[in-house]
Every structure is written in structure tokens, then in C-alpha cells.
Structure 1
Amino acid sequence: MVDGILIGLGVLCVAYFIVIVVYAGIGTSFAFIWLFFAALLLFLVYGRWYYSRNMDRIPRWVPVSVVTTCVAGVVALAVLCVLVFLGAASSDKKNLDYVIVLGARVKEHTVSNSLKKRLDKAIEYAEENPDTILVLSGGRGPGEDVSEAEVMRQYLEYNGVRPEQLLIEDRSVSTVENIAYSKVVIEEHRNRDKKELVPLTRRTTSVPYAIAPDKPLEIGVLTSNFHIYRARLTAEKWGIENVYGISADSDPVLFIHLCVRECASIVKDRLMGNM
């Protein structure tokens, strides 16, 4: 029974790998993880068979260690996937001060399917919240002739978003840099606005008055649904206190693969102290 389940899961992993390759191409990032999962499942089947015939020669701690490690890995992956799913299900908060729109790969001045979904969501949000400033974040990566932020700006302006509603951050090449550099752009924009304010004339009345504190800054991070959880934690790590996720749709065929890949990125960023 157990062997049948493991073999069935292994077959599903191989089948999903084939779907990914046919649908998105052999160069799809992290696609070979599914072949690794399939090989691991088949190894467990072989290990059970081998242990059942050599129980007298193999110490008990060996199978216990293998099973414990596998169970711990499955539990950790499940917990991370739940967190990713919860991030993907987050609802949009209205009237934010700024929304950081995370870029994605562009090629020959055209947006990828993933980036198009993010930008279409940004257009929708900008129309519903005209006072929100969008920070377009994305530098020029390998093989790109122009920065992602510039392509994003052209797409948004072509689709009716006002230029004065857009800020550009075109140095970043990773999620961490997206957040860090966008925070700098926001701070520079706020400081510039403060300098442009006309100072109040000196009061002649003796009536006391109180100065209200500034409203807490509220910032959104707009990205693909599977990416929301990591983007929010990264923003909090970089000192953005009131941060909200704005979820754009992702490819339904690749969604499971993207979530698994995102789990690996979460672990990496956590170990590196980025979130």
C-alpha cells in the first residue's frame, strides 16, 4: 500500500515535470526539482524493499533517521506552502500611500505573461485609488536591453495611468533590492514633497493649538500571488512597518511549481537574513 502511494506520487512528479517543460520550456527555473522528488520517492520504495530483506544487517537507527528526515521535510514544505497560499489569498487594502510594483523579466521591450498580470493589477488599483503613488521597481538584468521599470512605465502610461502617479526604481535585480531601493525612492519623494510645502504664516492669535502627528505611512507590495508572503516579510525586515500585500494572478498551470520554488526562496532568504 505504502509502496503504491510512493510510486504513484513519483509518477505524478514526472508527469508534472513533462507538463512544465512542454508548457513553459526546458529552461523553466527550478523545473528539475520534480525529477528530484520522483527519484527520492523511488529511492524510498527501493529502501523499504532492501531493508525488509536485510533487517538483520542494517541498524535500526538508519531507517528511523531516513523516515524522520523525510517527515520533517514534508511538514516543513507543507507549512511553507500554507504560508504562501495565505499570502496569495490576501485582500487588497484601499487608498495606500504608495504601492511598490515588483518587476519581472522583460525581453525585447515586451512584458512577460507574469509581468503583464502584475501591471494589469496595478492599472486596476491605480484606477480605483487615484491618490496612490506606484513605485515601479526593476532594474536591467542579463539579456535585457532596458530596465524592467522603464518597460513597466511605458505599459502603464499607454494604458492610461497618469505619469505623475508613477515613480521609477531601476537599480534592483532581486526581491530584496526591489524593497530596499524602493524604500529609498519613497523617502526621497516624501522629502521632496515636504520641501515644496508652503510654510504657514506666523499666527498672531494667542490661542494655543496642537500639531497633529503625521499619519502613519501605508505601503503596499504588488506582486504575483505566490510571491506575496516573502515580499511582505522582506519589506518588514527593511523597516516598512505598515505593509500590505496586493496579489496579482499567476499562471494556473505553473502555480504549484511556483509555490514550491517560492518555498525554496523563502528558506534561502531566511538563512541569509533577508527576511
Structure 2
Amino acid sequence: MKNRKRVFLLLGLLITLGLIYIGILQFKISQYSHNEVPKNADYLIVLGARVKGTVPSLALASRINSAAEYLKKNKETIVITSGGKGPGEDISEAESIRRKLVEQGISESRIILEDQSTDTYENIKFSKRLIPTGAKLGLVVTNTFHVYRGVSIARDYGLEVHGLPAATPWSAVIKSYSREYLAITKFYLKRYILD
């Protein structure tokens, strides 16, 4: 009887700690997705997401729209479109982003393609190589759930960046946030323990 009580107490403690941890992560995600976005950034990095054939997923379309809106208001800002070609994708994510930006009136002369990356770390690492000399202030463009991790990774690579949040599609909220809690945990492990 005592053993069973201890097991329930331990389970209750673990569940409580888990909920507190998720609450802290959610606070960080919310904080970063509501920060003020600086004007006249030197560059944007639009992080890739799934493309269905040649059509951006809803999450990626939201990122593209946020980037286009910013670029129209900040005429000197250049944009790096980031993301390689994965399974089920007929073109790279970077190319899909580029096409949609051009459709929204963004000049091709302002667009730089990074079409080799396969995850957020590579998005940032490979995009960093393409940032024009002298460019200092950047914005990482991604969905609200992803801004905290995207900006944190970019800062770990020595970039002076802020987040430019794009809305997370309602149909993807539960899945996206659940996966992001795990991805942030992996990021913490990599940053503080494994490296």
C-alpha cells in the first residue's frame, strides 16, 4: 500500500514538474513572438518549411506573407530564402519562397537563395555565409511557435537578430507546439550538455 502511494506521489510530482516546464517554454515562445520588430533591418532570413510539390504549406505561406509585408515597407532590406528540397518537394523550399515573394512584387535583386539546408541549424549556418558584407541587423522570419528557437540558434551563431513572427495556422497549432517543446528540449541538451 505504501509503495503504491509512493508511486502515485512520484507520478504526481513528475507530471507537475512537466507542466511547469511546458509552462516556462510556452512563456518563452510567447515572449519572443510578441517582441517589437525593428524597422530597416539589413536582412531577413526566411526559414524553410514543407512544400507540397511546388506549393508552400500553410505554415510556409504565412512566413512568406510576413516577409513580403516587411520588405514592402523596408525597401533597403534584402532577404535570404532558406531551405533545401526534401521528400515530396519538386523544388527547394528556398525556391518556393522566392517565387511567392516575386509574385508579391519583391524584386529578384533583393533575394538570395540558400537551397541546401535540411533543418533550422543549417538554415541559419548556411544563410550566415550569404549575408552581405557590412550587414549587421537581421530578422529571422518564422511562425510564432518557432521564433524563440530560431532566434536563439541564430544568436548562438553570432548573428545580431530579432524575430519577425508569422501566424501559425490554426489547423497546425497543437501539432506544431507539441513538436516545438521537444525541439527546444533537444536544443537545450545540445547547447548545455552535449556540446
SS at match of 1:263: helix
Q: Are 2:103 and 1:184 equivalent residues in the alignment?
A: no
Output aligned runs, 1:116-155, within 5 Å: 116-155=61-100
Letter in 2 for 1:177: E
- Residue 73 of structure 1 and its aligned partner are, at CA, apart by 0.8
Q: 1:98 aligns with which of 10, 35, 43?
A: 43
Work out whether 1:260 is the aligned partner of 2:186. Answer: no
Query: SS of the residue aligned with 2:158?
Result: coil
Structure 1 unaligned segments of length 5 or more: list them. Answer: 1-54, 191-213
Distance 1:67 1:169, change over 3 A: same
The DSSP-based 3-state class of the residue aligned with 2:168 is coil
Provide the C-alpha distance between the structure 2 equivalents of 1:114 and 1:158, rounded to a whole number of angstroms.
18
Alignment-derived partner of residue 25 in structure 2: 80
CA distance in 2, matches of 1:272, 1:85: 22
1:174-201, Cα deviation, whole Å (9 max, x unpaired) = 0010000000111xx32xxxxxxxxxxx
State the one-letter code of the partner of 2:44.
V
Aligned equivalents of 2:36, 2:111: Cα separation in 1: 23
**Structure 2 residue 163 is the aligned partner of structure 1 residue 245:** yes
Return closer, same or farther for 1:125/1:235 CA change in 2, 3 Å cut-off.
same
Please provide the CA RMSD for this pair. Answer: 1.9
How far apart are 1:60 and its partner, in Å?
4.8
Distance 1:88 1:257 in 2: 18
**Any idea what the Cα deviations from partners look like across 1:190-218, whole Å, max 9, x if unmatched?**
2xxxxxxxxxxxxxxxxxxxxxxx7x811
Q: Partner residue of 1:230?
A: 149
Q: Residue by residue, what CA displacement relative to the aligned partner does 1:83-128 show, whole Å, maximum 9, x if unpaired?
A: 1112222232110011101111112211111111111111101100
Could you list the per-position Cα deviations for residues 17-71 of structure 1 after superposition, in whole angstroms to 9, with x for gaps in the alignment?
xxxxxxxxxxxxxxxxxxxxxxxxxxxxxxxxxxxxxx35x26533332221111
Deviation (angstroms), 1:172: 0.5
Q: Which is higher, the Rg of structure 1 or of structure 2?
A: 1
Q: Does the Cα contact within 8 Å between 1:87 and 1:226 map onto a contact in 2?
A: no
CA apart distance, 1:257? 3.6
Contact residue 53 and residue 88 of structure 2 kept, 8 A: no
What are the superposed Cα offsets for residues 233-253 of structure 1, whole Å, 9 maximum, x if unpaired? Answer: 00011111x210001111124
Q: Matches of 2:123 and 2:89 in 1, distance apart?
A: 17
Deviates more, 1:129-138 or 1:103-112: 103-112
Q: Report matched runs for 1:191-202 at 5 Å.
A: none
Where relative contact order (Cα < 8 A, 6+ residues apart) is larger, the structure is 2
Letter in 2 for 1:226: F
Per-residue CA distance 1:137-166 (angstroms, 9 max, x = gap): 011112222111111111111221011111
CA contact (8 A) 1:91 1:247 kept: no
Q: What's the CA shift for 1:254?
A: 3.1
8 Å Cα contact 2:68/2:106 also seen in 1: yes
Structure 2 length normalisation: TM-score?
0.92
CA–CA distance in 2 between the matches of 1:168 and 1:149? Answer: 6
| Structure 2 counterparts to residues 151-190 of structure 1, below 5 A | 151-186=96-131, 189-190=132-133
Distance 1:173 1:77, change over 3 A: same
* Counterpart residue identity of residue 179, structure 1: I
